[in-house]
Amino acid sequence: MNQRTFTLLIFFLLTFVGIDNLKAQQNSDKQDETIFIWGGDINTKFVQYVADLTKKENPKICYLPTASGDNPDNIKYWGNICNTLQLDTVILKVWVSSSEKNQSFEEILLNSDAIVVGGGNTLNMLGIWKAQGIDNILNKALENGIILAGGSAGSICWFQNGISDSRPVNLSIVKGLGFLPYSNCPHYSQESRKNLYHQMIKDGKMNSGYATDELAGILFKDGKAVKFISQSDINNSYFVSLKKGEIEETKLKSEILLRKNALPEGSYSSQPIKKKINDLLDLNDSSSPISAYVSEIKNLKLNKEDISDSKKDEALNIRIAKVFIYDNKIAGVVNNAYINSFGYGMWYFYNCNGTWTSMGEDIGGKTVFESEIKFRERAETIMKLAEKKLNCH
């Protein structure tokens, strides 16, 4: 090999190495494209999760109520959530004139850490966004690493298309922005939406995609689903596809979303009871949460002189499903007193010098598991309230 050939060879090797190093550096500098979708209306836990995704102590979150026509009630609801979580927020309204805005849509959106899209009419929202150029700004926000999120209409908008009630009379397919290469169906627990979604995929009018129940969500990173979230055991996420001409629905294992002050697993005990009040009438003191609960039912319902036979039977047939106890100080008794109305009830008690004292009743959840989540999230608050209210030593 002569000197000239050797020099050229070294030149090309260094050139290729330089290009590879440059590509590696560009890839390392690239921001994650993050989208978090929710099956129903946004709530406090959803917003907290979005705030946590930013990994910032005081994130600025922009709310887009376009789908509801910048509805004042929706904006007030959003403000209440942000006040509760002590989050800095800005509202991007589209129903304004130039004289009412000091910043452009682009300035507002691209200076946010996360962007949350509310529910409403998906079709109208997307039409307005495209007319105002907001769709392109959102794409730029995604590429810049700004978190995109939303529920219902705020879920469909990120996909190729989704099942929506945006048009009169019937549910239909609405085309989205296509940031995620799948189809989407929020409110999946509604049979009408689920059935249409299945049919559209089966007919080839929609690609495979993701569906979410009201209180379930999916986290996407760079276009791929990486985590599935739920607030209960009856709200789930699904991947729906076509296999050999038939719909295949795969339920995806979810991580339960809890408030930050919730009791960690293993820090409390639980005891299944599965007995009716009628089976526990011999309990006459308040030395345990169960006996204290039975005493409450006796005093408030069974010992009344004017109680009707039907009301008495109703009280006697109240079933205690489970009892949760934390630190031998606070207890939650899960019962089915309201199962036909809104689910299980939860009666709280505080151990005051060996006597379990009532702290009142509350809604538990639609299932015992949902009730357990409620207990984990409220135990510390109830205990602080009891310590302040009761003079226990």
Active site positions, annotated = 152, 187
For residue 32, the 8-state DSSP code is P
Three-class DSSP category at 221: strand
Give CA–CA dist 267/322, Å, rounded: 17
Cα–Cα distance between 182 and 169 in angstroms, integer? Answer: 25
- d(CA 380, CA 393) in angstroms, rounded, equals 18
Q: How far apart are CA 198 and CA 353, in angstroms?
A: 59
Q: How many CB atoms lie within 10 A of CB 387?
A: 14
CA distance 375 to 365: 10
Picking from 160, 175, 273, the residue whose alpha carbon sits closest to that of residue 208 is 160
Q: What is the largest CA-CA distance in the chain?
A: 114
Q: How many CB atoms lie within 10 A of CB 24?
A: 10
Residue 82, judged by CB atoms within 10 A of its CB (0-12, 13-18, 19+), counts as buried
Of 381, 372, 311, which Cα lies nearest the Cα of 343?
A: 372
Which residues are registered as beta bridge partners of 319? 276
Strands 246-252 and 237-243: antiparallel
CB 60 within 8 A of CB 111: yes
Helix axes 134-143, 122-132, angle to 10 degrees: 90
